[in-house]
Structure 1
Amino acid sequence: MLLIRRRRMVASFGFIVAAFVGVLAHMYNIQLVHGDALAVQALHMRSEEVALEEYVRGEITDRHGVPLSGGHYTNRVVIFPSLMNNPDHIIKKLAALLRMDTADLAKKMRRGAFYIDRSLTSAELRQLQDDKPAGVYLLPVYRRYGSNPLAVHVTGYLGKISSKQEYTRLEKQSSKNYRLGDWVGQSGLEYFYEPQLKGSRAVRWARVPVDARGRVIEGPGLLVDSAGIDPERRNVVTTIDSRIQRIVEQVMDRQIDNGAVVVMQAGSGDILAMASRPDYHPDPREMAQSVQKAAGEIFIDHSTSLYQPGSVFKTVLAAAALEEGLVREDTMFYCAGAGAEPVRCWNEGGHGHISFADAFALSCNPVFVEIGRRLGADSIIEYAGKLGLDNQQITGYPVKKDTRQDLSLIGKPYSLANSSVGQGPVLVTPVQVTAMMNALACGGIYHTPRLVTGLSDGAGHLVEKITGSLPRRAIDQDTAARLNSLLRMVTISGVGRKAGVPEWGSAGKTGSAQVAGENGPVNAWFSGYVPAENPRYVITVLVCSGRSGGDTAAPVFRDIASRIMKIQ
């Protein structure tokens, strides 16, 4: 009997302990795990509020934390119907002042507090400040988009969830809550980092405390907070330098209707600027107008699209030929000009007897067709791969690989000659060309391009760093040094003289890829670096439907290089 009683006491004690542990675990879950969220939820229930930001969402910033979308504060009319002593009278006055439909304004007010998303004229502002209607305030609202957003193809744009399939996809890839009609990323970084960018609560808001029946609590009045915390959202920190990006886009707006520019930090793979034209304005209010005004496909990012590189590809052959010992700078060739077979020279009269160094500077086609023949397809493919022309990866920017890029096609019958001058099956992106030129600028070391540094919290602290693969040697350091001398000759005495940058000097290679017959427009390239000694920036320019690399792309390179070299 005593034994049974003891067992019952032990069982009862165990049950009490288990119940107590369960209560503690539940309290821990409420207080520490979900405490912040429940406190915010309780605050929402006890107040009428307006979020003073367009999108509950993290920013996409440059390397210094500057929002690339041009985010800024602007004053908006914020309306709290619960604070109005004579709503009908105020609605009529406000509708007349703001040139709005009275019925439409009344309908919005019945739903609760809100702000009117449009700027005020100076006359409207003065009248509103003079009248000061009850329940109507002029408060700063954070707008995601400015008038001149940067790198729009990189950042992407937002759109509303409009289908069950999209909603299901978002629910699967993220633990955050979504609803039909939410604004989510549709392209670029907005799309790739949607789960990280999405926030759970506004960090800028205005609210009025109310009781359980929704009546305004006397005393506190209007409360405004612009320093809230949203632990769920993250900012995407890119490698872009907004100062350089702005210079690039200003130059492109004047000189390039269709094309791309990429700027990379010499000695690393970090992309400092990446722009494409034509472009668009990512603000949903401006998007339709952008599409109507577009003269081309505005959503294509030419920086990551494939194009024939033309004579820029001769750099690969030069690297291979020098490294393999097939040529020296003084090795002689012969150019018959327009009569050369199978590929004629751009110089109809021909260059006659010409050294390898001069052939590179003057971009002589027949010489490089002969070099391609001596190298063979396998060697060209090998060195193109070493220099990254088969690698579309950009660290932190998971664009889909374009399967049309296939260097093995160089080895197909009748492809070698055209491939040797960057035509035929050879396809590359401006980002790849920039990474190739960067390898030459920094002694033969190849760096995988990087566009995203990491993710930061609301205070701007980097909480997750994104790093790519380690640098690797692509070509011998001596070969790279010899190529640097050849690239320097292009801008001093060759076909790229218009890319010469006074005071600092420059080096690079032109390219003119035919796209519409022998006498039609070309895709004009120039890729190079500045200064010529101890390079700081590697710049690639692509102008679609230009005249030639030397006449069309080289001057754009010079303009951009001259301006960014003045940045301290």
Structure 2
Amino acid sequence: MDKSKKEDLRKTKKQENLKKKRLLTVFSIIAIVLFMLTSRLLYIQIIKREEYSKKAFKQWFCIMETIVDRGIIYDRNGKSLTSNVKEKFLVLEPGFKLYDKDTENISKLTGTKREDIINMLSRGKKIELLINNYNEKLIIEMLRNKGVAIIERTKRYTDNGIASHVIGYINKSTNNGVSGLEKYFNKELVENREKRVGAITDAQNRIIPGFGYILIESDEDTNKNIITTLDREIQQICEEELDEKNYTGSVVVLDSRSGDILAMVSRPNFRQDDISSHLESDEKELYNKAVQISFPPGSVFKIIVAAALLENNTIDLNDKLICQGYEMLGVNMIKCNSYNRGGHGELSFEEAFALSCNSAFIKAAQMLGGEKLIEMADRFGIGRKTGIKLEEETGGILPSIDYVKGPGIGNVAIGQGTIEVTPLQVARFTNVIANDGIDVGVRLVKGIVKNNGELLKEYNDKENNRVISSDTASKIKKMMRAVIEEGTGKRAQIQGVESYGKTGSAEAVGKYGETVHAWFTGFFLGKKSEYVVTVIVEDKGSGGRIATPIFSNIAKKMLEKGN
């Protein structure tokens, strides 16, 4: 091979080697770039995924409002006492272009007049309209428009809210409780309940059709709810009993053994979602009459008078008293219910209790003395709050010792004068008799629970206190049985069940002047426990005629339900 050919071959190999090196370099660079890109993508997708997702989310997600939801208030069986009804709203953002067809569709969905829709949108503010007529076809058609969305909210109260006076109500603008358990447990009910409502928007901050609203909720594991001692079924029985007769007043039902409040009713009722309609009313529908208003107890107070007389050995069941139909307290005549018949004549103390004889009780109380009577009333809790979790509770009025040193003792002996009690206090002192002289207290709230039902805090700080001897309680129980068998409470009889009670007809000053409130308080043995039922009906007169059938009806319905 000549020299020139060798040189050409050498140059060719050199060029091929150079090409290989160049290709290797290019491939190496590409590999490095690909590796760097892959690493970057892995870094973005895995390591920084959450951070970049949040940044991207913030760019296209616009928070429209922040909602602070509230915890649920349950009865003792875990049934909701606050509403959990979901409602859908049509949301129209400012700048929404309104056409005649849109106006017609909105009107069909919400029941709002077309002129009202146009007027609301002209103000340039976001509006929410409750969808009363859910029509999927119309809704899909509306959601094709920018600035239109559907949002779902939970309705806090129903129109005829159960246990409304116990639950209370909230200030809608601040979401804070104003009364009832809503107020007492406001902190717990709103804690960690913040929800953010937003939407996917375009560059002009208009909602993109089809996406609707997005709800971002807080950690549910930190949410708190309230579980009460109320029994929704028993509460409803009591409410219906007053509503059917259109009575105003109150009913309280206790589980005698535990002191748990199973029902607490106040009438007239009110709409928790429409408080403004009640603000100018003089019907006191916003007051919880079971605890917030005190009344003269009338003859139901004779339970405490009897306890004082028997405990101090002033009198016994068979001791005789004379009733002439009235007693003079200074210049005032206090009539007995037997006044028109010339009095009861001679009768035993047990008969005087059963027949609710005012004359006999005034004479017996005068023998006892005012100081001992007031001391006994104090032991039964008169003049003090019971301590349930309602800030609006009043303690009633316990007369002063000075008041009962003179003629005042005659008034107090029959539950009149300056003494005042709440229906809950009456139920509580009735329960002392049912529990053989022991006060087991009263309880409205069992505790605080998580959404999954786990108990976070229990309220069980009641103490049992002996108020009177079991012997005294037994004698009063015997007299309360006589009230129903042969006295003023015959209408409280329950077939096949022994019941015990005391009637009362309390003179008071009402809305239209002097009036008489009807009382009955008693207890009966049910299938699961013993129950105390206390009833007051305002402005209806005789407790034996008006309040006793309510007691009987409630007891019968409770027994029918297996209580």
TM-score, normalisation: structure 2: 0.77
Q: CA deviation at 1:254?
A: 2.1
Residue of 278, 294, 309 corresponding to 2:297:
309
Supply the RMSD in Å over aligned alpha carbons: 3.7
- Structure 1 residue aligned with 2:358: 365
Q: CA deviation at 1:357?
A: 1.0
| Cα distance change of structure 1 residues 45 and 258 upon mapping to structure 2, 3 Å threshold | farther
Does residue 544 (structure 1) correspond to residue 538 (structure 2)? The answer is yes
Q: Is the 8 A contact 2:503 2:521 kept in 1?
A: yes
What secondary structure, in the 3-state scheme, does the structure 2 residue paired with 1:545 have?
coil
Does residue 198 (structure 1) correspond to residue 187 (structure 2)? The answer is no
Does residue 240 (structure 1) correspond to residue 230 (structure 2)? The answer is yes
Distance 1:44 1:316 in 2: 69
Q: CA deviation at 1:256?
A: 4.8
1:523-554 deviation line (CA, Å, top 9, x unaligned):
11100012389962101111111221101111
- Structure 2 residue aligned with 1:60: 73
Distance 1:42 1:277 in 2: 55
Distance 2:285 2:180 in 1: 13
| Structural mapping, 1:476-515, within 5 Å | 476-515=469-508
- Structure 1 residue aligned with 2:347: 354
Q: CA deviation at 1:409?
A: 5.2
- Structure 2 residue aligned with 1:174: none
- Structure 2 residue aligned with 1:300: 287
Does residue 563 (structure 1) correspond to residue 557 (structure 2)? The answer is yes
Residue of 251, 263, 267 corresponding to 2:257:
267
| Structural mapping, 1:310-459, within 5 Å | 310-338=298-326, 343-348=334-339, 349-399=342-392, 401=394, 404-408=397-401, 410-459=403-452
- Structure 1 residue aligned with 2:7: none
Q: CA deviation at 1:276?
A: 1.2
Distance 1:475 1:534 in 2: 26
Distance 1:454 1:485 in 2: 37
| Partner amino acid, structure 2, of 1:186 | V
- Structure 2 residue aligned with 1:134: 144
Equivalenced residue count is 497
Distance 2:101 2:365 in 1: 80
Q: CA deviation at 1:243?
A: 1.0
Distance 2:229 2:388 in 1: 10
| Cα distance change of structure 1 residues 147 and 400 upon mapping to structure 2, 3 Å threshold | closer
| Structural mapping, 1:200-239, within 5 Å | 200-202=192-194, 208-209=199-200, 221=211, 229-230=219-220, 233-239=223-229
- Structure 2 residue aligned with 1:148: 160
- Structure 1 residue aligned with 2:35: none
What secondary structure, in the 3-state scheme, does the structure 2 residue paired with 1:302 have?
coil
Distance 2:321 2:533 in 1: 31
| Partner amino acid, structure 2, of 1:345 | C
1:459-489 deviation line (CA, Å, top 9, x unaligned):
3322122233311111111221221111111
Q: Is the 8 A contact 2:192 2:218 kept in 1?
A: no
Q: CA deviation at 1:278?
A: 1.7
| Percent identity for Structure 1 against Structure 2 | 30
1:437-462 deviation line (CA, Å, top 9, x unaligned):
01111111102222122222233322
| Cα distance change of structure 1 residues 482 and 227 upon mapping to structure 2, 3 Å threshold | farther
Does residue 47 (structure 1) correspond to residue 61 (structure 2)? The answer is yes
Does residue 71 (structure 1) correspond to residue 84 (structure 2)? The answer is yes
| Partner amino acid, structure 2, of 1:376 | G
| Cα distance change of structure 1 residues 333 and 412 upon mapping to structure 2, 3 Å threshold | closer
- Structure 1 residue aligned with 2:39: none
Distance 2:284 2:222 in 1: 35
What secondary structure, in the 3-state scheme, does the structure 2 residue paired with 1:298 have?
coil
Q: CA deviation at 1:216?
A: 7.7
Q: CA deviation at 1:500?
A: 1.2
Q: Is the 8 A contact 1:488 1:532 kept in 2?
A: no
Distance 1:420 1:42 in 2: 78
Distance 2:490 2:294 in 1: 26
Distance 1:221 1:130 in 2: 11
Q: Is the 8 A contact 1:70 1:150 kept in 2?
A: no
| Cα distance change of structure 1 residues 515 and 215 upon mapping to structure 2, 3 Å threshold | closer
Distance 1:318 1:405 in 2: 17
Distance 1:148 1:64 in 2: 21
| Cα distance change of structure 1 residues 159 and 225 upon mapping to structure 2, 3 Å threshold | closer
Q: CA deviation at 1:225?
A: 6.5
Deviates more, 1:364-373 or 1:335-344: 335-344
What secondary structure, in the 3-state scheme, does the structure 2 residue paired with 1:319 have?
helix
Q: Is the 8 A contact 2:163 2:235 kept in 1?
A: yes
Distance 1:520 1:128 in 2: 60
What secondary structure, in the 3-state scheme, does the structure 1 residue paired with 2:523 have?
strand
Q: Is the 8 A contact 1:314 1:421 kept in 2?
A: yes
| Partner amino acid, structure 2, of 1:134 | R
Q: Is the 8 A contact 1:71 1:144 kept in 2?
A: yes
Distance 1:103 1:512 in 2: 59
- Structure 1 residue aligned with 2:177: 185
| Cα distance change of structure 1 residues 533 and 247 upon mapping to structure 2, 3 Å threshold | closer
1:500-533 deviation line (CA, Å, top 9, x unaligned):
122223111011111259x963111100012389
Distance 1:373 1:200 in 2: 60
| Partner amino acid, structure 2, of 1:47 | F
| Partner amino acid, structure 1, of 2:160 | N
Structure of larger gyration radius: 2
* Contiguous gaps of at least 5 residues in structure 1: 1-35, 161-180
What secondary structure, in the 3-state scheme, does the structure 2 residue paired with 1:353 have?
strand
Distance 1:509 1:320 in 2: 16
What secondary structure, in the 3-state scheme, does the structure 2 residue paired with 1:385 have?
helix
Distance 1:479 1:90 in 2: 80
Distance 1:110 1:398 in 2: 39
| Partner amino acid, structure 1, of 2:544 | G
Q: Is the 8 A contact 1:258 1:543 kept in 2?
A: yes
What secondary structure, in the 3-state scheme, does the structure 2 residue paired with 1:306 have?
coil
Distance 1:155 1:473 in 2: 32
| Cα distance change of structure 1 residues 43 and 115 upon mapping to structure 2, 3 Å threshold | farther
| Partner amino acid, structure 2, of 1:530 | F
Distance 2:441 2:354 in 1: 28
Distance 2:367 2:264 in 1: 37
Distance 1:211 1:408 in 2: 77
Q: Is the 8 A contact 1:264 1:270 kept in 2?
A: yes
Distance 2:483 2:529 in 1: 16
Distance 2:57 2:464 in 1: 51
| Cα distance change of structure 1 residues 50 and 412 upon mapping to structure 2, 3 Å threshold | farther
Distance 2:526 2:299 in 1: 20
Distance 2:311 2:58 in 1: 69
Q: Is the 8 A contact 2:504 2:519 kept in 1?
A: yes
Distance 1:44 1:435 in 2: 58
Distance 1:201 1:108 in 2: 32
| Cα distance change of structure 1 residues 379 and 40 upon mapping to structure 2, 3 Å threshold | farther
TM-score, normalisation: structure 1: 0.77
| Cα distance change of structure 1 residues 256 and 355 upon mapping to structure 2, 3 Å threshold | farther
Q: Is the 8 A contact 2:426 2:521 kept in 1?
A: yes
What secondary structure, in the 3-state scheme, does the structure 2 residue paired with 1:423 have?
coil
Q: Is the 8 A contact 2:448 2:455 kept in 1?
A: yes
